[in-house]
Amino acid sequence: MLGVLITLTMIAVGCGDDDDGDDAAGDVADGEAGGTEDDELTPIKVGILPIADLAPLYYGIEEGYFAEEGLEVTTEVGQGGAALVPAVVSGDYQLAFGNYVSLMLARQNGVEMQIVGNVVSGAESADRGTNALLVAPDSGITSVDDLAGRTFAVTTLNNVAEVNIRTMLREAGVDDADIEFVEMPFPDMNAAVESGQVDVAWQAEPFVTLGESAGLVNVGDPMYATTPSMPLAGMFASQSWTEENPDLVEAFDRAMRRSLEASGDDEAMRAAIEANTETPPEIISEIALANWQADLDTEKLQLVGELAAEYGLLEDEPDLDALVWDGG
């Protein structure tokens, strides 16, 4: 049953026609954004993930916030932040949504990505988590104490999931030496837990609620365990593109911030998720909504970088001055 439910749910609907969008978005020219409805809009293609965190972006597109800034924004679904980086480098996407460890890794490897703006942070309190570690009810895992030596499904290897999971285990006094990670998309994880392919799924909404509704058990939120309101993910672009198109970046940032200002309207965010995904309405009404924040907490982002370096994912702590777009 879970496999069928996952197949039916949360495949994000692109906001434009691929035949028109690919060529147009790949050839975005330098120029100034912001104009009247008589002006031609500048096409911007954004790579996204099939999760509920993108509700403000959907909402902003639908409300015309980006169009009012002179931008025609379309979206396309990818698997994870690390997979979206090459598409941004190649110009297939002008911007993408991804986690910050992916961007730290990219810069370490000479790929100059920049964070354009924060979108979502982790839970600010234990009861507001939108991320979770899910296990089968008959797995023998009832708490974090039982996670030593287990196999975890994650969207991207050697990335933010490992930082969160190892931190959660170490904070609980659990040996993390023999844990293993298996890469797979969010929509496939719950079925993999149910079938015994993996022991634990590192999940995000709406897949947390989908898993729990199918009988999986939530043993904790690794993001909250790392630090409350941990900076998770935002919009990023290549540094060369931000330098060549500062007006477009500023226009996108203004529209995105306006979209995030509306995120306090739970009804509007749930409606945006329902309108732009195939998530069943009964699930949308139950999912925990994200901690959407426009401002990036650089002190906590530095902590994430320090942990990534401690676990050997990064060679050195990140240079945030280079990583974070300075506003043009």
> What residues contact residue 9 under an 8 Å CB cut-off, 6+ apart?
187, 206, 210, 277, 278, 279, 280, 283
Domain termination residue (choose one: 178, 200, 226): 226
Domain termination residue (choose one: 226, 243, 269): 226
Q: Is residue 4 part of a domain?
A: no
pLDDT given for residue 78 in this prediction: 76
- Is residue 5 pLDDT above 60, yes or no? no
Q: Is residue 266 part of a domain?
A: yes
- Claim to verify: residue 295 and residue 212 sit in the same structural domain: no
- Claim to verify: residue 78 and residue 18 sit in the same structural domain: yes
- Claim to verify: residue 157 and residue 24 sit in the same structural domain: no
Mean pLDDT of all residues in 82-107: 92
pLDDT given for residue 13 in this prediction: 32
Q: Say which CATH number the domain at 15 has.
A: 3.40.190.10
- Claim to verify: residue 259 and residue 216 sit in the same structural domain: no
| Residue 269 binned pLDDT confidence (cut-offs 50, 70, 90) | very high
- Claim to verify: residue 149 and residue 111 sit in the same structural domain: no
Q: What is the DSSP string of 15-44?
A: SS-HHHHHHHHHTPPS------TTSPPEEE
Mean pLDDT of all residues in 106-125: 95
Mean pLDDT of all residues in 148-165: 95
Q: Is residue 186 part of a domain?
A: yes
Q: Is residue 60 part of a domain?
A: yes
Q: Is residue 74 part of a domain?
A: yes
pLDDT given for residue 128 in this prediction: 80
| Tens of pLDDT, residues 158-206 | 999 999 999 999 999 999 999 999 999 999 999 999 999 999 999 988 8
Strand partners, 26: none
- Claim to verify: residue 104 and residue 238 sit in the same structural domain: yes
- Claim to verify: residue 189 and residue 307 sit in the same structural domain: no
- Is residue 37 pLDDT above 70, yes or no? no
- Claim to verify: residue 218 and residue 314 sit in the same structural domain: no
| Tens of pLDDT, residues 215-261 | 999 999 999 999 999 999 999 999 999 999 999 999 999 999 999 99
Total structural domains within the chain: 2
As a whole number of angstroms, the distance between CA 201 and CA 209 comes to 13
Q: Is residue 111 part of a domain?
A: yes
Give the domain range for residue 219.
126-226
Q: What is the pTM of this model?
A: 0.81
Residue found under tokens 């996407």: 93
Mean pLDDT of all residues in 99-122: 95
Mean pLDDT of the chain: 88
- Claim to verify: residue 20 and residue 98 sit in the same structural domain: yes
- Is residue 294 pLDDT above 50, yes or no? yes
Q: Is residue 328 part of a domain?
A: no
pLDDT given for residue 237 in this prediction: 98
Give the rounded percent of residues in the chain with a pLDDT score beyond 90.
76
| Residue 33 binned pLDDT confidence (cut-offs 50, 70, 90) | low
- Claim to verify: residue 65 and residue 184 sit in the same structural domain: no
pLDDT given for residue 4 in this prediction: 32
The answer to whether the CB of 248 falls within 8 A of the CB of 44 is yes
Q: Is residue 147 part of a domain?
A: yes
- Claim to verify: residue 58 and residue 138 sit in the same structural domain: no
| Tens of pLDDT, residues 54-89 | 999 999 999 999 999 999 999 998 756 567 899 999
Domain termination residue (choose one: 195, 210, 226): 226
- Claim to verify: residue 254 and residue 279 sit in the same structural domain: yes
| Residue closest to 199 by CA, chosen among 235, 153, 168 | 153
Q: Which residue has the higher pLDDT, 32 or 249?
A: 249
The answer to whether the CB of 47 falls within 8 A of the CB of 233 is no
